[in-house]
Amino acid sequence: MTAIFVEKGFVKLSVKKTIDQSRRHFVLSGSVFVATGCSSKRNLVGLEPTRALSKTEIDERGHRIFIATVREPSTVATEFFSGRRANRLNFAAVDVVIPPNHKTGKIERPRGSSPDPDKHFVITNPQIFDEDSKFVGTVENSVLALPKGKRSSLLWIHGYNTNLTDAVLRFAQFLEDTGYSGVPILYSWASQARLGAYVYDINSALIARDQLEEVPGLLKDSPVETIDIVAHSMGNLVAMEAARGIANRGLFNVSGKLRSVILASPDIDIDLFIAQLSAIPKDKRRFYVLTSENDQALAVSSLIARNPRVGQLDATLISELGLNVIDLSQVQDTTSVHHSKFADAPEVVRLIGDRILAGDKGAKVSGRAEAVVITASGTIAVVDEAISN
């Protein structure tokens, strides 16, 4: 059992576990993490499918994903962008076509050499923009194609141990399963996509925060009406560091377009998170934090860092910071690591699409915000004072 106390803005933990129990937990978590993390990370961008895709299939079952990245372009065609760090933002786009037999929470990947459009996700039509203005203009045209009142954009920031293919596929699956109809933009930082590159990825995340600060500026004069942000795992470090930098200049959400920020399984030291949050005005904290106390990846991360990660903490503690929290601890997902429940579990991904991305009003201005638990059966229970939306 873990007792958690907040004192002078920082978190103190009283952990009632024996040394042997902690060691067993580390070994179990680590072995599960390794087994999952070592799965093949194939590059699938532009890989020729088993048959040609029709324009109708791309239009009806595809998602055009725009990409802003601080990765270096790759000499390997299907990698598109590598794990090497660029010193500037690069811009691109791809189409991801969803198979007709897709199941919510799943990413149907090819096991053979080529994807079958009838069974697998297909990443096609890769495009690189050689000028920022061309990228912005194309995004704006996509926004203008939407009806007024529906001109939204979703910025996605992936996590640790992720190549561009994985980032694109996960984002496309999330778009499909939430029913999101706005313009999607992937911010891809230079993860090396190797389990043993945790420190490299942390440094890449910190390097990438400055370029992420540039992305909202690209859209500030665009016809976009609302912007939502979803960050996962170590991607939350990038997001929160960029948010703190923007807030320290007095520019956080000055356009009023930012509707919600979803922090899924945040791999951030809790004390650092509180410091980051303190820079953001309370009346602009439209945050949702998705946690799970059985997140095995964050269990390993917290033992390495010797301090708890935000994504594994009790929901009521985080709600006391004035943030909405969704506790996914009871939700059953498809992996033994429990680190991607926000996208793996059908009931969770539907909740995000139906409630948050549909325009939930967000966190309470001050005091304790809403803390909810999604049970194993998919029902929602409020564990603190219910806050009407």
Residue 364 has pLDDT above 60, yes or no: no
Residue 65 has pLDDT above 60, yes or no: yes
Residue 1 vs residue 275, higher pLDDT? 275
Banded model confidence at residue 333, pLDDT cuts 50, 70, 90: confident
Q: Which residue has the tokens 């043993």?
A: 196
**DSSP string across 184-212:** EEEEE------TT-HHHHHHHHHHHHHHH
Residue 225 has pLDDT above 50, yes or no: yes
Question: Could you tell me the two tokens for 385?
Answer: 């004072």
Q: pLDDT, tens digit, for every residue of 40-57?
A: 478 999 999 999 999 999
Residue 178 vs residue 41, higher pLDDT? 178
- Strand residues in 237-370 grouped as ranges (E): 258-264, 287-291, 324-327
Are 116 and 97 within 8 A, CB to CB? no
Banded model confidence at residue 375, pLDDT cuts 50, 70, 90: low
Q: pLDDT, tens digit, for every residue of 14-43?
A: 333 322 333 444 444 444 444 344 344 789
Q: What's the mean pLDDT in 355-368? A: 57
Are 53 and 122 within 8 A, CB to CB? yes
- What is the C-alpha separation between 96 and 122, in angstroms, rounded? 6
- Strand residues in the chain grouped as ranges (E): 2-7, 10-15, 62-73, 81-97, 122-129, 152-157, 183-188, 226-232, 258-264, 287-291, 324-327, 371-374, 380-382
Question: Could you tell me the two tokens for 38?
Answer: 């070592």
Residue 138 has phi, psi (to 5 degrees) of -70, -40
Look at residue 112 in the predicted model and tell me its pLDDT: 78
Look at residue 31 in the predicted model and tell me its pLDDT: 45
Banded model confidence at residue 212, pLDDT cuts 50, 70, 90: very high
- What is the C-alpha separation between 249 and 252, in angstroms, rounded? 8
Sign of torsion, CA 52 55 60 63?
A: positive
Question: Could you tell me the two tokens for 126?
Answer: 């890769």
Virtual CA dihedral for 26, 32, 33, 37, nearest 10 degrees? 160
Rounded to two decimals, what is the model's pTM?
A: 0.86
Q: What's the mean pLDDT in 92-118? A: 95
Look at residue 164 in the predicted model and tell me its pLDDT: 98
Distances (CA, A) of 234 to 80, 129, 372: 22, 27, 23
